[in-house]
Amino acid sequence: AQSVTQPDIHITVSEGASLELRCNYSYGATPYLFWYVQSPGQGLQLLLKYFSGDTLVQGIKGFEAEFKRSQSSFNLRKPSVHWSDAAEYFCAVALNSGGYQKVTFGTGTKLQVIP
Amino acid sequence: GAGVSQSPRYKVAKRGQDVALRCDPISGHVSLFWYQQALGQGPEFLTYFQNEAQLDKSGLPSDRFFAERPEGSVSTLKIQRTQQEDSAVYLCASSLAGGVGQPQHFGDGTRLSIL
């Protein structure tokens, strides 16, 4: 079964600083990988996804992520964080299960942005 | 509104009561998913519908949990004889189709508190 590990429960960065959120996955084949963001009291919004091809994927809101097969990682990055980026971020892996995607989420990383 | 709508947003119930949570997916979306998100955790898969057919209910934690989507649009998640451990946010997501390439669109969730 696939699994996702987000080793950082909580990260604090200064506004304008760069950001990297870590994600490691466990899955036998080439995974389908996602990053979602969740603001308090809201549902999840898809930031970006990786299925195949270029290992550096661009997403919304200036985020990008890099797939590294050798490290089983899919880390999320942003060059300059804005106060509005404060939220919880979830990495997820999808398994093609009988024609639909069964998604497994990590436990999340809560991002705090300080002025 | 064009998004996934869930109601109620908040539900408080006494232990032992039955509750029903509603999900209105995006019009025309074939696939519908329910997730349970405990405090401080990522969402966990409960069940999947393709139109009115419930194709996967492997994530339902017990036989007290029941989901239906009788006409292939609105879905209801019912929990009978609620227990304190059922307290969580219940998220609904829909996608145009079930394949791995299709993004899931999430509602804002129903926060269920069992006293």
Asked if A8 is an interface residue toward chain B (Cβ–Cβ < 8 A), one would say: no
Contacting residues for B111 by C-beta, under 8 A, at least 6 apart: B9, B10, B11, B88, B89
Give how far Cα A17 sits from Cα of A23, A82, B10, B109, Å: 20, 9, 36, 32
Q: What is the pLDDT of residues A19-32, one digit of tens each?
A: 999 999 987 677 88
Which pLDDT value is given to residue A18?
A: 97
Asked if A54 is an interface residue toward chain B (Cβ–Cβ < 8 A), one would say: no
Residue of B33, B26, B76 lying closest to B55 (CA atoms): B33
Q: Is the pLDDT of residue B98 over 80?
A: no
Asked if B51 is an interface residue toward chain A (Cβ–Cβ < 8 A), one would say: no
Which pLDDT value is given to residue B81?
A: 97
DSSP B21: E
Which pLDDT value is given to residue B100?
A: 67
Across the interface, whether the CB atoms of A96 and B106 are under 8 A apart is answered: no
How many beta-carbon contacts under 8 Å exist across A and B? Answer: 64
Q: What is the pLDDT of residues B59-94, one digit of tens each?
A: 999 999 999 999 999 999 999 999 999 999 999 999
Which pLDDT value is given to residue A52?
A: 83
DSSP B103: P
Place of tokens 């007290």: B64
Which pLDDT value is given to residue B2?
A: 80
Nearest by CB: B103 against A4, A46, A97: A46
Asked if B54 is an interface residue toward chain A (Cβ–Cβ < 8 A), one would say: no
Which pLDDT value is given to residue A16?
A: 97
Which pLDDT value is given to residue A42?
A: 85
Q: Is the pLDDT of residue B1 over 60?
A: no
Q: What are phi and psi of A93, to 5 degrees?
A: -125, 140
Across the interface, whether the CB atoms of B91 and A44 are under 8 A apart is answered: yes
Which pLDDT value is given to residue B69?
A: 97
Which residues on chain A are in Cβ contact (under 8 Å) with B89? none
User: Would you write out chain A's pLDDT as a tens digit for each of its 115 residues?
Assistant: 778 999 999 999 999 999 999 999 987 677 889 999 999 888 899 999 998 888 999 999 999 999 999 999 999 999 999 999 999 999 999 887 777 778 899 999 999 999 9
What is d(CA B19, CA A28) in angstroms, rounded to the nearest whole number?
39
Asked if A3 is an interface residue toward chain B (Cβ–Cβ < 8 A), one would say: no
